């Protein structure tokens, strides 16, 4: 089932029974009752709606949804199969932003809801927050502390092992002398974190750590892609767990985009490395000497590893808690796979904004195909190689303009920025979300049409529709790619006024919210 979160609505499409018309089988209407209060506060009338910003599975039967509710964030539970409300609504503050344009994340892990958003009407208090658990206390990041979070933009959250990871971009505290420079980070918290003692970090995370993600082109002078835009869930790269993200250059730099992959064990290595400190407001940031790091090691999970002797984080020594409150930033950045991007694009003035990855493409299910969405409504299909001994680099297979003005324009205006993408391998489709429509790009194999020579390796995806289909042979990779020039456009007319905010493909892990 594909769920589409929009303004005042949630739509559900059964992908098994949906035909070419792609009409939602279920429609949930959830309008705000606080519109009058919102307008009295002086807010723009366009913001005084209920923008559904959180839509994640709570369990196998229930969806958890939160909306801005005309600047009064509210959350509800709904049955997956019918979109009927279950139980009473709950306050959405710290779980959902007040404003539709603010970034946020939502994820259920171990029965707890982890969120990252702004907690106040003025959007001055950014938070990573845990709530709604039966046995776990409510925890948050330290309030108004730039060492923890500084003007963050949240991109993705995943549960992996003993931790929940948050991927974000923020203003770098370690480069204040150069003005506002954006760095991409990965932060993590322990799932069994119970907060600190009554003296230090009570009701706050005791395990919060963060490290920089290094997506750069090596050379005499490194060229950095510092701004994370979108990230995958954990997948296998070279038989190792990894995440793959699309990054862009700084806003005031030349336009450029890159795809970088990061092994999860390299992320773990960064969190086990040295901490970073600034001794005075005028001094440079330097590594904290190892002899100054207290025991148990700050950021450890109670009952595990260095903190195995402690049953709960509430019993950690004050030295450990005080240290982690002051030094949550790691010294070493997380290196990308092969220490370089697996794909770059610097010749276009439009940046890439979204990513979806298929690591089991091709007849042998051993090829990796990356789909990249852009600001100008294009989808790039890239055959990626991340093996260090590969004889070829990444190959751009297809560049498709998927935006359809006749279906996606609203009152003559167009917004071509791709907000989200979901790859549905079961039904051979890529779903692409814009603010006013959702488009389905069909995928199928060339072998279904006898378009390939069995002696030549086949690339992953082509089309079931024979209209205007042709194949290209990549001689270096012995790979054949079929492309269709007239992709199928799908957008129910009642969705055009829906202001799409998120796609959720049930069965997909993680909780990305665009």
Domains of the chain: which residue ranges? 1-140+503-514, 143-345, 348-418+438-490
Give the pLDDT confidence score for residue 290 in this predicted structure. Answer: 96
Q: Rounded to an integer, what distance in angstroms lies between the CA atom of residue 442 and that of residue 427?
A: 8
**Buried (b) or exposed (e) across 495-510, using 16+ Cβ within 10 A?**
bbebbbbbbbeeeeeb
Q: Rounded to an integer, what distance in angstroms lies between the CA atom of residue 122 and that of residue 137?
A: 26
Q: Alpha-carbon torsion 128, 99, 434, 11, what sign? A: positive
What are the pLDDT digits (tens) for 322-341? Answer: 999 999 999 999 999 999 99
What are the pLDDT digits (tens) for 178-225? Answer: 789 999 999 999 999 999 999 999 999 999 999 999 999 998 888 999
| DSSP helix/strand/coil, 223 | strand
Give the pLDDT confidence score for residue 472 in this predicted structure. Answer: 39
Looking at CATH, the fold of the domain delimited by 143-345 is given as Methylamine Dehydrogenase; Chain H (2.130.10)
| DSSP helix/strand/coil, 83 | coil
Give the pLDDT confidence score for residue 444 in this predicted structure. Answer: 58
- Give yes or no for a cis peptide into 296 (omega within 30° of 0): yes
This prediction has a pTM of 0.90
Q: Rounded to an integer, what distance in angstroms lies between the CA atom of residue 471 and that of residue 88?
A: 54
384 Cβ neighbours under 8 A, 6+ residues apart = 259, 342, 343, 357, 368, 369, 370, 394
Cα–Cα–Cα angle for 271, 276, 277, nearest 5°?
A: 150
Give the pLDDT confidence score for residue 505 in this predicted structure. Answer: 85
Cα–Cα–Cα angle for 185, 186, 188, nearest 5°?
A: 140
Give the pLDDT confidence score for residue 352 in this predicted structure. Answer: 97
The ranges of the chain with pLDDT < 50 are: 391, 445-459, 462-497, 507-514
Give the pLDDT confidence score for residue 413 in this predicted structure. Answer: 75
Q: Rounded to an integer, what distance in angstroms lies between the CA atom of residue 497 and that of residue 51?
A: 12
Q: Are 372 and 379 in contact (CB under 8 A)?
A: yes
Beta bridge partner(s), residue 458: 480
Give the pLDDT confidence score for residue 22 in this predicted structure. Answer: 74
Q: How many CA within 13 A on the CB side of residue 317?
A: 11
Give the pLDDT confidence score for residue 459 in this predicted structure. Answer: 45
Q: Rounded to an integer, what distance in angstroms lies between the CA atom of residue 10 and that of residue 6?
A: 6
Q: Are 32 and 69 in contact (CB under 8 A)?
A: yes
Give the pLDDT confidence score for residue 390 in this predicted structure. Answer: 61
């Amino acid at each position: 089932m594909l769920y589409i979160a929009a303004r005042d609505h949630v739509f559900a499409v059964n992908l098994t029974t949906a035909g070419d018309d792609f009409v939602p089988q279920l429609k949930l209407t959830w309008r705000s009752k606080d519109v009058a209060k919102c307008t009295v506060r002086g807010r723009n009338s366009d913001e005084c709606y209920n923008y559904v910003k959180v839509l994640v599975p709570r369990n196998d039967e229930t969806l958890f949804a939160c909306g801005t509710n005309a600047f009064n964030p509210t959350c509800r539970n709904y049955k997956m199969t019918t979109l009927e409300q279950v139980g009473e609504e709950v306050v959405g503050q710290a779980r959902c932003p007040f404003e539709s344009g603010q970034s946020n994340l939502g994820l259920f892990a171990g029965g707890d809801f982890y969120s990252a958003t702004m907690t106040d009407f003025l959007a001055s208090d950014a938070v990573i927050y845990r709530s709604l658990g039966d046995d776990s206390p409510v925890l948050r990041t330290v309030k108004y502390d730039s060492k923890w979070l500084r003007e963050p933009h949240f991109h993705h959250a995943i549960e992996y092992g003993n931790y929940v990871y948050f991927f974000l971009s923020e203003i770098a505290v370690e480069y204040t002398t150069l003005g506002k420079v954006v760095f991409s980070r990965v932060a993590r918290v322990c799932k069994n974190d119970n907060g600190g003692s009554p003296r230090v970090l009570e009701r706050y995370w005791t395990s919060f750590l963060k490290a920089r993600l290094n997506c750069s082109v090596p050379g005499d002078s490194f060229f950095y892609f510092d701004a994370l835009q979108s990230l995958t869930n954990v997948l296998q790269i070279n038989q190792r767990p990894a995440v793959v993200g699309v990054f862009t250059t700084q806003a005031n730099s030349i336009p450029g985009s890159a795809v970088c992959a990061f092994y999860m064990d390299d992320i773990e290595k960064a969190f086990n490395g040295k901490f970073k400190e600034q001794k005075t407001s005028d001094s440079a940031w330097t590594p904290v000497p190892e002899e100054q790091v207290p025991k148990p090691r700050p950021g450890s999970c109670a009952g595990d590893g260095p903190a195995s002797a402690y049953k709960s984080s509430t019993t950690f020594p004050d030295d450990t808690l005080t240290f982690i409150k002051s030094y949550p930033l790691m010294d070493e950045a997380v290196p990308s796979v092969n220490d370089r991007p697996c794909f770059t694009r610097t010749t276009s003035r439009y940046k890439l904004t979204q990513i979806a990855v298929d690591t089991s493409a091709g007849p042998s299910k051993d090829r990796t195909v990356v789909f990249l969405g852009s600001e100008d409504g294009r989808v790039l299909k890239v055959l990626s190689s991340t093996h260090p001994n590969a004889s070829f680099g990444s190959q751009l297979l297809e560049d498709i303009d998927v935006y359809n003005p006749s279906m996606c324009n609203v009152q003559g205006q167009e917004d071509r920025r791709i907000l989200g993408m979901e790859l549905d391998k079961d039904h051979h489709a890529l779903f692409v979300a814009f603010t006013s429509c959702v488009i389905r790009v069909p995928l199928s194999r060339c072998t279904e049409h006898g378009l390939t020579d069995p002696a030549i390796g086949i690339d992953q995806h082509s089309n079931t529709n024979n209209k205007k289909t042709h194949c290209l042979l990549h001689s270096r990779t012995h790979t054949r790619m079929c492309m269709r020039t007239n992709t199928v456009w799908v957008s129910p007319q009642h969705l055009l006024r829906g202001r799409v905010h998120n796609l959720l493909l049930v069965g997909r892990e993680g909780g990305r919210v665009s």
